[in-house]
């Protein structure tokens, strides 16, 4: 069964300025501006007190000084901010193994399936905020949502020290009234084009005619539209290598024939291969998990001499392992996973043979289409669509 995805975005409030106010009580409650103090410097962070004067990040320092002449201007201490950032990320890693830092003061956490520990992903977000405050005397805002894009939008909705939840079913409505500029990929030019067509809000964009949008925005149209509807399937990519990447399926009807099992292993191998490549890894050990109707469970592994990342190689190992298993009863669950992972920077050199390079290119093309149109769009010729639908939703 597919479980509900829950992503938390944590964003520290006016991070650099907040650290300085924490460490220097005399500047608490005062407008503090951190940034380049030389002639052409820009503001990197303004405290909330400074924001009331209209000072914000990326503003030229000269402009900030004009708006807030009595502000406290500091060059900042990036080493210190980086050190505290590591403490923040350590705290986050207590709450999920899947933490993706975006910058020194922001990160995504995937907390899907962890509800049983805390009842609700919202509780996890609250606990994270509490821990950060207890340990570091700094505040963070949190966004909780079914995907990365919405979680990031949510964390900005109530700042500072805010917590905003977007629940499944509320995706599109939660962002409908925001200006289109808030969408990733919509810059000034795109916003101008859309504005001429009367499209100002994300909600209007979500309802706009796709043919018209494609004409105006070209190949960007699809992705921007998906975001406008609150859809985003990018995964949280851990800063640390995962131990394994895998996928399993429980079937509505037990599988009885070897052909059916091989077909399902191919589907699973393609899913695992996709995730592996999407996360930038190669791996050496392929494991097949097979659970019978009686709940008896077998795990069998094969380790390659060299790391692999192609669907074909994963499937070759999975099929070989399954072929060796004796099937006396129906199969209710199948799983394929790959472990012994390492970053996959050097894949090309692993496939010196020309046919292997061609296979890799096919995989890359398929991956691009999957990234664009979703995973279910493409299945290789061997598996017809009906079969891929026999599993439980």
The residue ranges that bind Mg ion (CB under 5 A) are 11-12, 15, 105
Q: E strand or H helix at 332, and its extent?
A: strand 331-343
Buried b (16+ CB within 10 A) or exposed e, 98-108: bbbbeebbbbb
CA angle 231, 236, 242 (to 5 degrees): 150
- How far is residue 198's CA from residue 177's CA, in Å, rounded to a whole number? 14
CA–centroid distance for 122 within its chain: 18
Burial class (CB in 10 A: 0-12, 13-18, 19+), 345: exposed
Residue with Cβ nearer Mg ion (104 or 321): 104
CB of 138 to Mg ion, least distance (A): 10
With a CB cutoff of 8 Å and minimum separation 6, the contacts of 13 are 48, 138, 139, 140, 141, 159, 160, 161
Tell me whether residue 106 is one of the annotated catalytic residues: yes
| CB-CB contact of 12 with 88 (8 Å) | yes
Select which of 20, 49, 106, 312 is catalytic: 106
* Nearest distance in Å: CB 106, Mg ion: 6
Nearest-angstrom CA–CA distance, 261 and 265: 6
Q: Please report which helix (H) or strand (E) contains residue 388, including its range.
A: helix 385-388
Instruction: Look up residue 360 and give its two tokens.
Output: 């890799």
Q: From the CB of 37, what's the least distance to Mg ion, in Å?
A: 21
35 or 273, CB closer to Mg ion? 35
Taking the CA atoms of residue 308, residue 311, residue 312 and residue 317 in that order, the dihedral angle to the nearest 10 degrees is 70
Closest of 7, 6, 13 to residue 132, by C-alpha: 13
Q: CB of residue 11 vs Mg ion: minimum separation in angstroms?
A: 4
R_g (Cα) of the chain, nearest Å: 25
DSSP state of 215: H
CB 8 within 8 A of CB 111: yes
Question: In the complex with Mg ion, which residue's Cβ is closer, 141 or 347?
Answer: 141
Residue 124 Cβ, how far from Mg ion at the closest point, in Å?
19
Q: How far is the CB of 43 from Mg ion (least distance, A)?
A: 13
Phi, psi of 212 (to 5 degrees): -60, -45
Which of 19/72 has CB closer to Mg ion?
Answer: 19
- Find out whether 340 and 307 touch, Cβ atoms under 8 Å: yes
**Contact indicator for 268, 383 with CB cutoff of 8 Å:** no
Q: How far is the CB of 22 from Mg ion (least distance, A)?
A: 15
Catalytic residues: 106
């Amino acid at each position: 069964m597919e479980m509900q995805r829950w992503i938390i975005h944590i964003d520290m409030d006016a991070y650099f300025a907040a650290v300085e106010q924490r460490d220097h009580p005399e500047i608490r409650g005062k407008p503090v501006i951190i940034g380049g103090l030389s002639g052409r410097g820009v503001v990197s962070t303004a405290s909330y007190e400074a924001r009331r004067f209209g000072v914000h990040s990326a503003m030229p320092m000269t402009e900030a000084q004009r708006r807030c002449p009595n502000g406290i201007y500091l060059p900042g201490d990036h080493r210190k901010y980086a050190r505290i950032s590591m403490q923040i990320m350590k705290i986050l890693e207590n709450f999920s193994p899947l933490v993706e830092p975006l910058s020194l003061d922001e990160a995504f956490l995937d907390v899907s399936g962890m509800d049983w520990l805390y009842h609700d992903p919202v509780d996890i977000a609250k606990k994270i905020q509490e821990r950060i405050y207890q340990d570091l005397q700094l505040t963070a805002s949190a966004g909780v949502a079914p995907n990365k894009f919405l979680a990031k939008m949510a964390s900005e909705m109530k700042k500072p020290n805010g917590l905003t939840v977007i629940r499944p079913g509320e995706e599109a409505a939660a962002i409908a009234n925001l200006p289109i500029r808030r969408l990733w990929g919509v810059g000034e030019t795109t916003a101008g084009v859309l504005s001429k067509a009367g499209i100002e809000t994300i909600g209007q964009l979500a309802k706009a005619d796709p043919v018209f949008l494609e004409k105006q925005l070209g190949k960007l149209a699809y992705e921007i539209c998906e975001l406008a509807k609150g859809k985003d399937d990018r995964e949280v990519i851990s800063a640390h290598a995962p131990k394994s990447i895998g996928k399993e399926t429980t079937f509505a009807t037990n599988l009885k024939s070897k052909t059916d099992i091989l077909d399902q292993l191919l589907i699973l191998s393609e899913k695992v291969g996709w995730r592996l490549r999407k996360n930038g890894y190669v791996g050496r050990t392929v494991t097949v998990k097979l659970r019978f109707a009686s709940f008896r469970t077998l795990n069998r592994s094969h380790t390659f001499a060299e790391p692999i990342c192609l669907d074909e190689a994963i499937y070759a190992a999975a099929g070989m392992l399954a072929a060796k298993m004796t099937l006396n009863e129906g199969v209710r669950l199948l799983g394929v996973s790959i472990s012994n992972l390492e970053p996959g920077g050097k894949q090309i050199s692993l496939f010196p043979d020309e046919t292997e390079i061609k296979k890799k290119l096919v995989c890359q093309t398929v991956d691009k289409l999957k990234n664009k149109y979703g995973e279910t769009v493409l299945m290789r010729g061997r598996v017809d669509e009906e079969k891929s639908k026999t599993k439980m939703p």
